Structure 1
Amino acid sequence: MSNVRFGLREVPGLAERMATLMCVDLDLKSNDENLESETQEEEKSGSLDNVLEILQKEMDKVKERGVDAAIWLELEALGIDDEMLKSLELSTKFPNLVALNLWGNKLEDAETIIQEVTKCRRLKAIWLNDNRALRLMRVSLALICSSSLVCSCLLRFFSNMSRSSVCIFSGDRISKLILDGIPGLEIYNSCFTSNFGEWALGFCGSIFGADNPGCLSECSGSLASITTLDLSNRCVRCLPKAFSPIMLPSLSHLNIRGNQLDQISVDDLLQLLKSFTLQTLEVDIPGPLGNSALQILEYLPNLSFLNGISASVITETGKHVIDSALQPRLPEWAPSEPLPDRVIGAMWLYLMTYRLADEEKIDETPVWYVMDELGSALRHSDDANFRVAPFLFMPDGKLASAVSFSVLWPIQDVHHGEECTRDFLFGIGEDKQRSARLTAWFHTPENYFIQEFKKYQQQLASRSLPAPKEALITRSILQHDGHSLQVYTDIPHVEEFLTHPKFVLTTNPKDADIIWTSMQVDPEVKKAFELTDLHYTNQFPFEACLVMKHHLAETILKAAYLMTISLFLDSMLNCTCCGTGRPEWLQPTYNLETQLSQLIGDYFVRKQDALNNLWILKPWNMARTIDTTVTEDLSAIIRLMETGPKICQKYIEHPALFKGRKFDLRYIVLVRSMDPVQIFLFDVFWNYRGRLNHMNTPEFVREFEEEHQVNWQTIHQGIQDMIRSVFDSAAAVHPEMHNPQSRAMYGVDVMLDHLFKPKLLEVTYCPDCGRACKYDTEAIVGNGGIFRGRDFFNTVFECLFLGKTAHVTPL
């Protein structure tokens, strides 16, 4: 994926074809075409003659119907400005005007709008949408002014201006004045007012409209024939008396999506709906009827369909949140955005992926591709009638000659004229978070995910980290007779640099006292090497709780959950948490295989609060940077799950910089025991900037302190506390991790934020220590002194097996 932008820019015609396929080039017309279109639009609208012609036709209708007939005026997008609105004298010409549509005109002066509109005292509906006057024009001095001098100047400026020269309104202020001036208004800018009743219900039930404006007074029985009522997205907070089975005896299909309905309780609303003979209901879940589709059906057993899904299907599948009317996510772009950027922003709605595999292993690098125009035009359906699969044809039997195809075939009988569809998540059920994963392509209910996130936060809020246990001394394992310990290893650096006289290398693992290997020492390896429980190994049982990225965050959070505040009060005093039960040094982290809903909720909350929404995705158990992505695109986050299990972690958006560049730190931790926890921190650490750009540690610390005016010892103490907490958490959650025959070395990668607080990146098993063995350096923590690189593994083995503490600090 890293070469996508380069390919779009350099391959001739690629960006253009992809942009057309993804429909992100629709606004790219020639200047002449745009000019011609604008000219035609100007000729069509903005003419007083055109408006007067429409009014004359309506006046002719009045003569036909009688002077007492209600009038509906459609004046949408006619270029009407403030002066023209005044000249039309609508209230005089149409005293019985009940509905006025001024959507998309050129009205700018709020006073003029209020003055002219409120003269039409019998209005029941008015649409002023998409007029400049209704855009928010409130000037907030508190937000735009940080200087008292600027504030006073602006205040003086506005106070000196006469009321006739300027009047600043907000959209809310305009609506209030209009509603005060027209008490009977039921619909304002597509939303129901608090006065809505029979006329508004009739409008949404297709009883009233331009051809039938209704009556000037209440028309008894006018709603009796309504069978379908769409009240979606009408800003309804409470239902009127007119919404009753007496007034709506035939109502069987109701849509109340997109309404708060917060002025009526869930029980009262359910009771009201139960009094109708509803067959289908559309409602937000979670929403005004609660959080569960199953509970809604339990209370409204006569429903045949809920949100477009058969009630029997909902009951059988046990789904709480259901919806068949999800709106698709459409590509969004700025007019000035170049084609390659538009394509990158839209591609996650179209991309497909696969990985190559042979008998030995699966390729670590996924292949992402886009089908042609036909394949990309296939829309999603849960009940798809086609399937698509990638097919690789190798004429020469070699991968280099491969040609890729997408094979499309029907899986149901398909009739002429029927749409061809595919299941975007074929084979993925609710056990693999199907509903949440549909968020990559559709606008799923945000409220549901936000509530899931808030529940997750509440679970974390009462958690605290475990307190350190008192460390006991682990003795040397050296034989009393003074014989050297035999070491078997498959790690070249150990073979080369382990020169301590108390350790002798052997090529036979059976004869070794210590097994120091990069392999997983599982039962099969033990059997093959004829190992016994008396052999010392460089692995602890269940160490996956630390070295697997998804288990690491889970371990830390679970440890906090298991420990009570009273038992570990000292820990709470020493370990700062961020108010959510999550330590400050752990970024918000989600296991995408199990916590996708909570992540989506977190994403939506951050979006609502205009917070940074940049995330980093990391595979569970691959080396750093492999299949790792940084993105703020929610669709990309969800789609990247397809290339293997991942965690999604909040990106550190404000890291500490060194000479303008990000860096991270590698610490080496030596573990003698996990019960009690007995760990040692190497006095030497390593810094990395960019790709393997290491700077001598004392020089780095000296220049960092000088650049930021900080004390490194303070920073180091915070890192020490964090590392201790990590291993305490593992010991608390997995006491079975302890094994008296285990000793291990781990790499702990750390970043600093802009406040110089540590952030945990990952814990690595059997870290690469080539750099540690290669360079001599000065230890600037611990006991200090010069550390010789060639003695690195001698120091490690002395600490773990001989009980020495040279060049290490116990934590």
Structure 2
Amino acid sequence: MTCMWKYSQSYSIGNQNFEAEERLPIWYIMDEFGSRIQHADCPTVRVVPFFYMIEQATYSIMFPITDLDENEEVTRDFVEGSGSDEITRSALLAPWSTEFPEKFLNSVSLEQGEPSSDYFSASRMTETLPITGIEIPDLPKDQPIRTYVEYAFIRDYLKHPRFQLVDNPDEAEILWLSSHFKDFKMLSENFPFKRINQFPCEHLLTVKDLLCIIARRAKKNPCTSKEVLKNEPCWLPTTFNLKTELPKLVAYYMAQKKLGIPNYWIIKPWNLARSMDTHITDNLDMILRLAVSGPKICQKYIDRPVLFYREDINAKIKFDLRYIILLSSVDPLKAFVYQRFWIRFANKPFELDNFDEYERHFTVMNYSASNLHQMFCHDFVRYFEEQNPGQEWPKIEERIFSMLSALLKASTEKTADSMSSLTSAPQSRAMYAVDLMLAWTDNVLDGDDTGPSIQPMLLEVNWAPDCKRACVYYKEFFDDVFSVLFLDETEGRHVHLLE
């Protein structure tokens, strides 16, 4: 099975009317003839997939691009259209060629720097920034605050008397949208009395490739050439952008292999949720083929996760945690974490094998018919401490909060380019969901006498998170959220100020 990736091809149907699931890459292997066509940098033919709608069938069409003599070999370019430079192209060809390790490996630096400002501006999508210096009036204090929401669960569960739901956004003082808002300049000029649930440039947190760039700003010390395999910051799994950092990934993979370090990686699309098109492997060939199927990151798979014993299946399984962050202000930074968190469990015993078994390696089960195991956070804490003697939850929680604080400070750190950090916007408030895991580390962390210690590991930050379970578990959830963000009331609202 590991060899099949040398022959695997992919295509996707890019119809904008399709749901995300319908636009995912489709993988295939050509027949004996197609699979025997060899690679050449100057090929004689192209082979392209063709979807014939009438038959609902896909064919591989081969056509010559040069004149061919009788008995001349037919060749094609295995990485056609991929690889923006010679080194990246050579790295992509590593499944079939030894050119990269022989010619380029020693010249590839493993140190990761920030991309140019063009990289950040390309992702901004015509977003405007608010006008500075405009006076922003306070929200009404002597009457209910008119609130327009697009998320059904807020409409059902927001019961606080200070907020009055309205059906017309033009009448509202608070706009809580489920669609992305981009014109902050217009909002500040024409509607300075309104508040909105989004910040300019927040995609820097919620899009995976950008999140990793932002998170790396939190590292305390730059790595030396001898420490390039060391993870910094310690809560961010080593991550490479498969579009811009592919040679670094291949060099890193080969360095780890040479040192005998486990090489398990998880490959994720930049901007899809619910684990769609996400793969786990230790096979470099598979990673390099996935790299040409769409924009993705490649991240070290957490191979020493803290496990949870599920009595109902008599097994230790993976789990992850979801925390809610409430961002009130960027400058000065003011943010809270909701102290009630949510746990998501896998359904099969964890092992570093069978990576294609979703219920063994993934935890998002609430969008399928799978067995969904749920638990209140206070019950989880009790079981966690019973199963991990000596590991007190308050210490773990303190590390989680420290990680979240460091991430937000990195994301709001002023840079020369205004598009490469979250922008101050007095009318903005926001709620994000942070997914994280707990992993064992041999390092002795603060508060522990000896190792191993438990290290929180950042997975992703989600915009407009699904809060159905939050509302079902805690009916006052959105009353808490709105009180903190729009009334500046934190007493009794189950939040902790991130410092």
Q: What range is the shorter-chain TM-score in?
A: 0.7 to 0.9
Distance 1:526 1:405, change over 3 A: farther
Unaligned runs of 5+ in 2: 115-135, 310-315, 347-364, 367-372, 441-452
- Aligned mate of 1:765, from 449, 452, 463: 463
Contact 1:688 1:694 in 2 (8 A): yes
CA distance in 2, matches of 1:696, 1:420: 62
Distance 1:625 1:365, change over 3 A: same
**Residue correspondence of structure 1 range 531-570 to structure 2 within 5 A:** 532-558=191-217, 560=219
Map of 1:800 onto structure 2: 485
Map of 1:306 onto structure 2: none
Contact 1:449 1:601 in 2 (8 A): no
Work out whether 1:677 is the aligned partner of 2:357.
no
CA distance in 1, matches of 2:16, 2:476: 41
Q: CA deviation at 1:441?
A: 2.6
Secondary structure of the corresponding residue to residue 273 of structure 2 = coil
CA distance in 2, matches of 1:483, 1:579: 58
Map of 1:303 onto structure 2: none
Q: CA deviation at 1:486?
A: 1.1
Work out whether 1:517 is the aligned partner of 2:167.
no
Map of 1:756 onto structure 2: 454
Distance 1:541 1:525, change over 3 A: closer
Work out whether 1:370 is the aligned partner of 2:29.
yes
CA distance in 2, matches of 1:756, 1:455: 27
Q: CA deviation at 1:643?
A: 2.1
TM-score by length of 1: 0.49
Contact 1:453 1:599 in 2 (8 A): no
Map of 1:355 onto structure 2: 12
Secondary structure of the corresponding residue to residue 705 of structure 1 = helix
Q: CA deviation at 1:376?
A: 0.7
Map of 1:712 onto structure 2: 393
Secondary structure of the corresponding residue to residue 742 of structure 1 = coil
Map of 2:131 onto structure 1: none
Distance 1:394 1:447, change over 3 A: closer
- Aligned mate of 1:427, from 74, 77, 81: 81
- Aligned mate of 1:604, from 247, 254, 261: 254
Contact 1:773 1:790 in 2 (8 A): yes
Contact 2:231 2:238 in 1 (8 A): no
Contact 2:50 2:61 in 1 (8 A): yes
Q: CA deviation at 1:545?
A: 1.0
CA distance in 2, matches of 1:394, 1:549: 34
Question: Which deviations, in whole Å up to 9, do the C-alpha atoms of 1:95-122 show, x marking residues without a partner?
Answer: xxxxxxxxxxxxxxxxxxxxxxxxxxxx
Map of 2:139 onto structure 1: 478
**Residue correspondence of structure 1 range 687-706 to structure 2 within 5 A:** 687-690=343-346, 691-692=365-366, 693-706=373-386
Map of 1:722 onto structure 2: 403
Distance 1:359 1:610, change over 3 A: closer
Query: Rg: which structure is higher?
Result: 1
CA distance in 1, matches of 2:270, 2:217: 18
Map of 1:436 onto structure 2: 91
Map of 2:117 onto structure 1: none
Question: Partner letter of residue 697 of structure 1?
Answer: C
CA distance in 2, matches of 1:509, 1:802: 20
- Aligned mate of 2:3, from 346, 350, 372: 346
- Aligned mate of 2:427, from 704, 727, 741: 741
Distance 1:803 1:640, change over 3 A: same
Contact 2:218 2:233 in 1 (8 A): no
Contact 1:535 1:741 in 2 (8 A): yes
Question: Partner letter of residue 489 of structure 2?
Answer: K
Question: Which deviations, in whole Å up to 9, do the C-alpha atoms of 1:285-315 show, x marking residues without a partner?
Answer: xxxxxxxxxxxxxxxxxxxxxxxxxxxxxxx
Q: CA deviation at 1:402?
A: 1.1
Distance 1:608 1:586, change over 3 A: same
Contact 2:339 2:494 in 1 (8 A): yes
Question: Which deviations, in whole Å up to 9, do the C-alpha atoms of 1:45-69 show, x marking residues without a partner?
Answer: xxxxxxxxxxxxxxxxxxxxxxxxx
Secondary structure of the corresponding residue to residue 353 of structure 1 = strand
CA distance in 2, matches of 1:488, 1:501: 15
CA distance in 1, matches of 2:201, 2:172: 23
Higher helix share: 1
Distance 1:449 1:703, change over 3 A: farther
CA distance in 1, matches of 2:429, 2:184: 20
Q: CA deviation at 1:641?
A: 1.6
Q: CA deviation at 1:357?
A: 2.8
Distance 1:627 1:525, change over 3 A: farther
Q: CA deviation at 1:442?
A: 1.9
Unaligned runs of 5+ in 1: 1-343, 396-400, 461-474, 566-576, 776-788
Secondary structure of the corresponding residue to residue 60 of structure 2 = strand
- Aligned mate of 1:382, from 18, 41, 45: 41
Map of 1:657 onto structure 2: 307
The percent of aligned pairs where both chains have the same amino acid is 38
CA distance in 2, matches of 1:737, 1:749: 23
Contact 2:231 2:237 in 1 (8 A): no
**Residue correspondence of structure 1 range 461-500 to structure 2 within 5 A:** 477-480=138-141, 482-500=142-160
Question: Partner letter of residue 392 of structure 2?
Answer: N
TM-score by length of 2: 0.79
Work out whether 1:631 is the aligned partner of 2:281.
yes
Contact 1:450 1:605 in 2 (8 A): no
Map of 2:133 onto structure 1: none
Question: Which deviations, in whole Å up to 9, do the C-alpha atoms of 1:746-783 show, x marking residues without a partner?
Answer: 101110012321000111112111101001xxxxxxxx
Q: CA deviation at 1:365?
A: 1.8
Question: Partner letter of residue 401 of structure 2?
Answer: Q
Contact 1:542 1:737 in 2 (8 A): yes
- Aligned mate of 1:668, from 320, 324, 329: 324
Secondary structure of the corresponding residue to residue 456 of structure 1 = coil
Q: CA deviation at 1:735?
A: 5.1
CA distance in 1, matches of 2:378, 2:336: 21
Map of 1:235 onto structure 2: none
Q: CA deviation at 1:542?
A: 0.6
Secondary structure of the corresponding residue to residue 475 of structure 2 = helix
Q: CA deviation at 1:429?
A: 4.6
Q: CA deviation at 1:453?
A: 5.4
Secondary structure of the corresponding residue to residue 160 of structure 2 = coil
CA distance in 2, matches of 1:794, 1:531: 28
Question: Which deviations, in whole Å up to 9, do the C-alpha atoms of 1:330-364 show, x marking residues without a partner?
Answer: xxxxxxxxxxxxxx211111111111133535733
Question: Which deviations, in whole Å up to 9, do the C-alpha atoms of 1:566-595 show, x marking residues without a partner?
Answer: xxxxxxxxxxx9995711111101111101
Secondary structure of the corresponding residue to residue 667 of structure 1 = strand
Distance 1:580 1:502, change over 3 A: same
CA distance in 1, matches of 2:190, 2:60: 50
Q: CA deviation at 1:650?
A: 0.3
Map of 1:251 onto structure 2: none
CA distance in 1, matches of 2:110, 2:155: 52
Q: CA deviation at 1:559?
A: 5.2
- Aligned mate of 2:475, from 782, 790, 793: 790
Contact 1:488 1:516 in 2 (8 A): yes
Question: Partner letter of residue 175 of structure 2?
Answer: I
CA distance in 2, matches of 1:403, 1:455: 44
Map of 1:778 onto structure 2: none
Secondary structure of the corresponding residue to residue 476 of structure 2 = helix
CA distance in 2, matches of 1:602, 1:411: 37
Distance 1:429 1:807, change over 3 A: closer
Q: CA deviation at 1:452?
A: 5.3
Higher strand share: 2
CA distance in 2, matches of 1:477, 1:452: 57
CA distance in 2, matches of 1:525, 1:491: 24
CA distance in 1, matches of 2:152, 2:3: 47
Distance 1:532 1:381, change over 3 A: farther
CA distance in 1, matches of 2:105, 2:89: 17
Question: Partner letter of residue 672 of structure 1?
Answer: S
Map of 2:120 onto structure 1: none
Question: Partner letter of residue 619 of structure 1?
Answer: P
The structure with higher relative contact order (CA 8 Å, sep 6+) is 2
CA distance in 2, matches of 1:540, 1:705: 38
